[in-house]
Structure 1
Amino acid sequence: MAEYGIGIWGAGWVAGEHAHAYFANPHTHVMAVGSRTLEGAKRRIDEWGIGGAQAYDDLEALLAHPDVNLVSVCTPNYQHAADVVTIAAAGKHMLIEKPPATDLVGLRAMRDAVRKAGVKTHVGFVLHWHPLFQAVKQVVADGLLGRVIMAQLDYWHRLTAEDELPLYAWLVNKEKAGSIFLAGGSHPMDAVRWFLGGEIVEAYGYSTHPSGDYDHATTTIGMLRFDHGAIAKISACVEAYIPYTFNIDLLGEEGTLRDEKVYSRKLGNGKEWVDLGAAAPRSGEVSAHPFQGEIDYFVDCLDRGVDSEINLEDGVKTTEACLAVDIAAATGKPVKLPLL
């Protein structure tokens, strides 16, 4: 298997989990870490225990490192698009943290840049490697639910000043975050697309007013229609007093799934709930997310010369759907997809 030299651009909250996962993969070696300041990058290198890596405060300089051929984009949401365009032009493969962009202009620019460069990409919807997500995907694939009629997924994660999470400083600003539905709701949006398959063809949405320090809506509900007939509701809320909660409900003609439990004609006597043995995600701490599985998967994709199933083209579809919900919530009109 080939060896990969890693550059980590953006040295914040999630970047440390990328670093640890790369360190544990025998085929990856972190060669460069970049941050807003050189001192910050050096501090992270020391904290993460990756001696030998070089520190940078300039993306172009990091990309010039001769041994870097894969870059993790871990900057705040609003920087992703410009960073990806620059990295693609340098011919480097990328793991792009979600959401890939905060608006359609940036989304189109990064998509076009990656297409032109022909580099491999993966968008960081890390919950694909959570045991429950894997189990839900298998339940659907095995036909235990039959044709799925309706889905409801929720991302409820209190993110206020008192919760002291690092991303709060920029999440409160719409220009930097894009929206709460992009920042948090993109997880369930990605999940419902993965579980149900097909394409989202129409979206509608409602949002509440801002609260606290936020200058944009802190709660949004999106309604979706798929090309195969299923409908779905996705919600994202960061202001309620509630621990991190990720609900998954899939209702089908042959069975229903509620988080880790399945009620199906094809299981047992068809009259009782069966536990899948995998609890739903219950922590918003990035250290609780399965980054090792995600990064091992993408490195294997690169070694086989194939793109990730969650490449930028796929991430564009998830992001489009989130943006469509936000547009619908603002205009009061349903939005047809695709947008690009």
Structure 2
Amino acid sequence: MTIRFGIAGTGWVAGEYVRSIEGHPDAEFGGMYSRQPQYAEGRLKEWGVQARLYGTFEEMAEDPAIDAIVLCSTPEVRPEQAIVASRRGKHLVIEKPVALERGSLAAMGEAIRSNGVKTVTSFVLRWNPLFETVKSLLKDDAIGHVFMAETDYWHDIGPRYVQYRWSSRKDLGGSSILSAGCHAVDALRYFAGEVEEVKAYSGRTSPASESGYEFDPNVMAIMKLRNGGIAKVSSSLECRTPYKMNIRLLGDKGTLLNNQLFSHKFPGQTDYATIPTILPDSGDVTHHPFAFEIADLITAIHSGGTTRCDFEDACRTMELCFAIDDSAASGETIRLPEVRK
């Protein structure tokens, strides 16, 4: 069965979704909604595809020819769009951040669960080859019990990026963690498990910083893991460094530093071994594995299964993101709720 996708939004990432959908044998790009229809027409020509342009999001959601909708619209409208689409039985690809506050996240969850739609959330690095390698190493006990974990998202997202015009705003970007650092938060959960409590701090690069961000672009959080270990996440959006997505895992049987491994699996090892793989080392969306994310959702629709990062899983990442922001704002240690079943 061919899955026909509609897309909400015309930004940088939308083009990658179009390419991923068009490149899958069981998928078809069926249409698009944008608040800027003339711009959307230009984007379709740029991508070299023909598709219907809908006058409203509701019109696209009500079209029986559309099976699934990709929500790469800006964050403030994403929850309502997810609710509208879910009530009409459309499966969902949900860009990050899933929502900007807890109330919207809860409303999305109620609509998604009530209507039984399949979901995949675009914490897209879960499909990156290094991430897959790390998960395999953990499963194979190459690292053992992770007692210390660190992840970093460092990306100088300034005015040269189109997304900056909205992601730098408090009402649209939310925070350093919500707008981009959530990738590091999700990676921490993905590799080290759930978090019990968090203490966070945020700040500017310097008192004279003129980056234009309406929130502190730099955040660091220290966490207690439910497995008894400790962890750290950092996010910096006005750093002076090439894009970095760092992963450091210390276990009782080995240590991982990005793609370097020291493990009990290699008893004669005297130094770290480098694993040749594709690293999450670029902020360019053309580098990100959207094709595998789309393929995962199509498989879930056909099989009745779940995706690698469905809405329920992503909710736990978002809850941790909210807790980090709450702690940074209040100065308090925040305890996370028990993990939902």
TM range (shorter): over 0.9
For 1:38 and 1:317, locate their aligned partners in 2 and report how far apart those are by CA, in whole Å: 35
Post-superposition offset of 1:228: 1.2
- Report what 2:167 is aligned to: 171
- Report what 1:59 is aligned to: 57
For 1:65 and 1:233, locate their aligned partners in 2 and report how far apart those are by CA, in whole Å: 45
Post-superposition offset of 1:264: 1.2
- Structure 1 residue 41 and structure 2 residue 40: aligned? yes
- Report what 1:203 is aligned to: 198
1:183 to 166, 171, 179: 179
How many residue pairs get aligned? The number is: 335
Post-superposition offset of 1:338: 2.2
For each residue in 1:136-160, what CA deviation from the matched residue of structure 2 results, as whole angstroms up to 9, or x when unmatched?
1111111111111100110000011
TM-score by length of 1: 0.95
For 1:257 and 1:177, locate their aligned partners in 2 and report how far apart those are by CA, in whole Å: 32
Post-superposition offset of 1:268: 4.6
Give unpaired runs (5+ residues) of structure 2: none
For 2:259 and 2:55, locate their aligned partners in 1 and report how far apart those are by CA, in whole Å: 44
Post-superposition offset of 1:269: 0.9
Post-superposition offset of 1:331: 0.6
TM-score by length of 2: 0.95
Q: Secondary structure of the equivalent of 1:330?
A: helix
- Report what 1:158 is aligned to: 156
Aligned sequence identity (%): 34
**Does the aligned pair in 2 maintain the 1:111–1:312 contact within 8 Å?**
yes
For 1:332 and 1:38, locate their aligned partners in 2 and report how far apart those are by CA, in whole Å: 44
Q: Which moved more, 1:24-33 or 1:187-196?
A: 187-196
For each residue in 1:166-218, what CA deviation from the matched residue of structure 2 results, as whole angstroms up to 9, or x when unmatched?
11000110111111111211111111111123x22211110004742111010
Q: Secondary structure of the equivalent of 2:201?
A: strand
- Which amino acid in 2 is paired with 1:177? G
Post-superposition offset of 1:280: 2.6
**Does the aligned pair in 1 maintain the 2:154–2:237 contact within 8 Å?**
yes
Instruction: Note the 1:299-314 alignment, pairs <5 A.
Output: 299-314=298-313
Instruction: Note the 1:23-172 alignment, pairs <5 A.
Output: 23-51=22-50, 53-161=51-159, 164-172=160-168
For 1:28 and 1:182, locate their aligned partners in 2 and report how far apart those are by CA, in whole Å: 30
Give unpaired runs (5+ residues) of structure 1: none
Q: Alignment RMSD, CA only?
A: 1.4
**Does the aligned pair in 2 maintain the 1:317–1:338 contact within 8 Å?**
no
- Report what 2:250 is aligned to: 251
**Does the aligned pair in 2 maintain the 1:123–1:310 contact within 8 Å?**
yes
Q: Secondary structure of the equivalent of 1:215?
A: coil
For each residue in 1:74-117, what CA deviation from the matched residue of structure 2 results, as whole angstroms up to 9, or x when unmatched?
01122211111111111100000011001111111111111111
